[in-house]
Structure 1
Amino acid sequence: MHILLAVITILSAIGIWAWRLRMAKRGLDEVADLAKTVANAPRRLAFLTRAQKGGIDLIEDPREAAAIMLMMMALAKGGTLSARQSDAIEQEIRDHFDFSETEAEELAAHAAWVASSQLPGPEEMKRMSRQIVRSSQLGPKEIVDLDAMLVAVSEAEGLPSRAQLALLQIYRDMAGLKT
């Protein structure tokens, strides 16, 4: 009888230790999952931040911002993009950014998509102008060149409209250019 009791005690001890080891493993697995979650948190939060933004808020490249400003200038004339305005935008991109014809068309198409997601207005022009002026990649020559590009696009369909002149003045004020 005492041998049977000893065997039951040993089997119980083995069972308890096996259960404790299994629970410890489960706890370590949960800690490992938590560590992965914490390690991925910055990436997930960056994605969520970008996912909540749209259109103009995602622009970081000054050339892209300039192309969007050109498109906003063209759309301010009448709300639609004419063939002359499109050609003027693509020509300015090719001349000043040293892009090929295909690259200029792609950038203009992207700018049209972004600009069409929001109506071109003073706030958007201020935001893009601020980004251009604060860019460490651009010097005073590039800022003046962008002014000339904006003027060329505004004059693609003849004399610029009041809305185009207002957008141009916003850029000049933000860039510190004299009119």
Structure 2
Amino acid sequence: MEQRTYAMPLLNTCCGLSLKFGTIFSGVLGMLIGASTLVFILLTKNIKMRTIVIDTLPPEIVRIILAINLVMTIFISLLLVIGALKRNRWLMLPWVILAIMLAIGLLVSVIYTAVVFFISNYVFSGCLWLVFGLISIVIFLFMWYVVFSYYKMIEFEKGRGPYARPPRQ
């Protein structure tokens, strides 16, 4: 049996559980975080949202843009869950792409916010933001890696044919 090698080794489990469970967990967690953030943004009236790129737009427009992004995140996370359950890698691909872009955006945001704290002489807040932000980025990248490993596992199984495939979990 041919074993593929990748430049990046893939995971076999997610913290001792199956990659399928880790993928579904990532999708459900993405939907929950997206929905709770959407509710928070839509229900909070006096919120000051500062962004790096779109600070020149009126706050209502920024709120609408964020709401649309969160709805798309919820939808893509739902596609991930459905793709994991049906073992369809094409339904999982949008989440794999979105998550790596979000990780890059999160890294930029954490560094930018920490620098703003440091410039404003809030050194302790900047350090806390940096430490907890980097921890959250590592967790987020691990969850992406779990989904990517499951995606690659399904891709490899699809190429083997129906008679060589192990039974479904």
Q: Report the TM range for the smaller structure's normalisation.
A: under 0.3
The structure richer in helix per residue is: 1
Question: What's the TM-score, normalizing by structure 1?
Answer: 0.27
- What TM-score comes out, normalization by structure 2 length? 0.28
Q: Over alpha carbons, which structure has the higher Rg?
A: 1
